[in-house]
Amino acid sequence: MNLFSTTLLSFLSTGIKILAGLVINKAISVFVGPSGLALIGQFQSTQSILRTLSQGGLNSGITKYTSEYQSDEKKISSVWSCSFQLTMFFSILSSIVLLLFSGYFSELVFNSLDFKYVFIVFGLTIPLYAANNMILSIINGLKEIKLLIVINIYQSIYGLVFTTLLIAIWSLDGALIALVTNQSVILLIVLWKVRKHKKIMLGKFLNNYGREERKKLLKYSLMSITSAITLPTSMLIIRNFVGENLSWEDAGYWQGMMYISSTYLAVVTTALSTYYLPRLSEIDNKKELRNEIINGYKFIIPIVLLLNISIYFLKDVILWLIFTPSFEPMLILFKWQLIGDFLKISSWLLAYIMVAKAMTKHFIYTELIFTLNLTIISLVFVEYFGLIGLSYAFALNYAMYFLCMIILLRNQIMDE
């Protein structure tokens, strides 16, 4: 499949996901409100860190080497066996930590022991989540995009019904329980869909593997764990700063704006992760790599620009549709947030080269530098400009990141 067909399928999958998300977010807005949404955002940031740690950050590596070795049965079996054992090790370790320190995590995230049970449930289900994502990474690496998108659609529909029901019954508690169980339950659907798969068979996960496979996968583990820790930690710091220095309602407005960004950009990021990573991983010459990047800009950037413009002019309708009138103060965030989103995707089209080519040091350094940069300028801009300073900081950070990617990666795509 090419980028065009992948993006069209991503539109379908993401469209269903967005519709499901609209209903869920509306339920959260009605039953929980802006301050509750901020608390959910705090939990999601923590959850993102813990989930990546539970997988050992292996997903991108599994996808890359599945794509690279799919014609070599021996190598692919070694990679999958290594992936399975590492995933089980990290997920069971994460489960034990969550169960033992559930009270600590509840205090850390919510400043209360009332939500200790959420982390206990999370600890019990996190190995299922890790196993689910390992299989999805393999499907992605095999470029079985239709199967991957069908599974994502099932997940969106299940999440819609289950999450909305729990929010309606238990409000904030229901939303949190849904967050920690949704993707774990989907493992049952994934196992059913691959039960007769010609390549994904149990025996291929139980073979011996060498130090080389482990070393290669752990390189990606370092990159993913860096991303998993830095950005969500930054979000936690910024959200907490806004909550304490402006208000938790303001933190909720910002969380709502970030939700809109992540939702509408999902179609693009899904296309990048399902097509770009496997495709860039298999390219071994600069001319072909350059052509692929140029085609990406020609196709993806106009879509992002169209989405940006549409969302900006329909922001009042979007606010009415997704949230409640109490979220109206967030309208001031749209303009510069959308500019930042455009710069973010423009830079990611280049940044994927670092992931595809296992440029571990470059990736880690840039993640650390620009996440720290985002955190610092966000806190400073909030002091000077108030709530809208968050959008200024977001746009400025990704403008700087885009410039850095151009300078850093020009040698990867330009002829000597």
Question: What is the distance between the alpha carbons of residues 297 and 306, in angstroms, rounded to a whole number?
Answer: 14
Residue the block writes with tokens 């539970």 = 54
Question: What is the distance between the alpha carbons of residues 362 and 360, in angstroms, rounded to a whole number?
Answer: 6
Question: What is the distance between the alpha carbons of residues 308 and 61, in angstroms, rounded to a whole number?
Answer: 32
Q: Is the pLDDT of residue 416 over 60?
A: no
Higher-pLDDT residue of 330, 221: 330
Question: What is the distance between the alpha carbons of residues 119 and 125, in angstroms, rounded to a whole number?
Answer: 10
In 3D space, the residue among 137, 144, 136, 138 whose CA is nearest the CA of residue 189 turns out to be: 136
> 10 Å Cβ neighbour count for 256?
24
Residue the block writes with tokens 């099932």 = 154
Question: What is the distance between the alpha carbons of residues 401 and 297, in angstroms, rounded to a whole number?
Answer: 17
* pLDDT tens column, 49-103: 888 888 888 888 888 888 888 888 888 889 999 999 999 999 999 999 999 999 9
Tell whether pTM > 0.95: no
In 3D space, the residue among 113, 143, 109 whose CA is nearest the CA of residue 232 turns out to be: 109
Q: Is the pLDDT of residue 415 over 60?
A: no
Q: At what angle do helices 248-264 and 389-413 cross, to 10 degrees?
A: 30
**Share of residues in the chain with pLDDT > 70 (%):** 93
In 3D space, the residue among 357, 359, 36 whose CA is nearest the CA of residue 171 turns out to be: 36
Question: What is the distance between the alpha carbons of residues 404 and 24, in angstroms, rounded to a whole number?
Answer: 37
End-to-end CA distance of the chain: 31
**Share of residues in the chain with pLDDT > 90 (%):** 31
Q: Give the CA count within 13 Å in the CB-facing half-sphere of 82.
A: 23
* pLDDT tens column, 362-405: 888 999 999 999 999 999 999 999 999 999 999 999 999 999 99
Q: What integer pLDDT is reported at residue 135 of this predicted model?
A: 93
The lowest-confidence range among 10-24, 67-81, 112-126 is: 10-24
State how many domains the chain has. Answer: 1
Range of the domain at 182: 3-413
Phi, psi (degrees; rounded to nearest 5) at 334? -60, -50
